[in-house]
Amino acid sequence: MRLLETLRGVVPENYWHLIPSGHEEIGDICLLRLPEELSDFYPEIGKAVLERHPHFRVVAVRTGRIINEERVGEVRVIAGENRTETVHSEYDCMYKLDLTKVFFTPRLSYEHNRVAKLVRSGEVVLNMFSGIGSFSILIARRVKNCKVFSVDINPSAIEYLEENIRLNKVEDKVIAILGDAAEIEEPTLADRIIMPLPLKAYDCLEIAAKKITPGGTIHYYDTVPARGTKTQQLDKLSERVTTRLEKLNLEIEIPYKRRIRSLNPGFYLSVLDIRVLKRA
- Confirm or reject CATH 3.40.190.10 for domain 93-97+102-279, answering yes or no: no
* pLDDT band (50, 70, 90) for residue 268: very high
Q: Is residue 205 scored above 60 in pLDDT?
A: yes
pLDDT digits (tens, 9 = 90+) for 163-181: 999 999 999 999 999 999 9
The SS3 assignment for 236 reads: helix
Q: What average pLDDT does this structure show over 223-248?
A: 94
The SS3 assignment for 107 reads: helix
Measure the CA–CA gap between 222 and 230, rounded to whole angstroms. 14
The gap between the terminal CA atoms of the chain, to the nearest Å, is 51
**Average pLDDT for the chain:** 92
Select the CATH number that applies to the domain covering 3-83 from these four: 3.40.50.2000, 3.30.300.110, 3.20.20.80, 1.10.10.10: 3.30.300.110
- What is the model's pLDDT at position 250? 93
- What residues does each domain of the chain span? 3-83, 93-97+102-279
- What is the model's pLDDT at position 130? 96
Cβ neighbours for 265, distance < 8 A, ≥ 6 positions apart: none
DSSP category for residue 220: E
Render 189-232 in DSSP notation, one character per residue.
-EEEEEE--TTTTGGGHHHHHHHEEEEEEEEEEEEEES-S-HHH
Measure the CA–CA gap between 254 and 245, rounded to whole angstroms. 12
pLDDT digits (tens, 9 = 90+) for 105-164: 999 999 999 999 999 999 999 999 999 999 999 999 999 999 999 999 999 999 999 999
pLDDT digits (tens, 9 = 90+) for 52-111: 889 999 999 987 655 555 567 789 999 999 999 999 999 999 999 999 999 999 999 999
Q: What average pLDDT does this structure show over 197-224?
A: 95
Equal CATH topology for 3-83 and 93-97+102-279: no
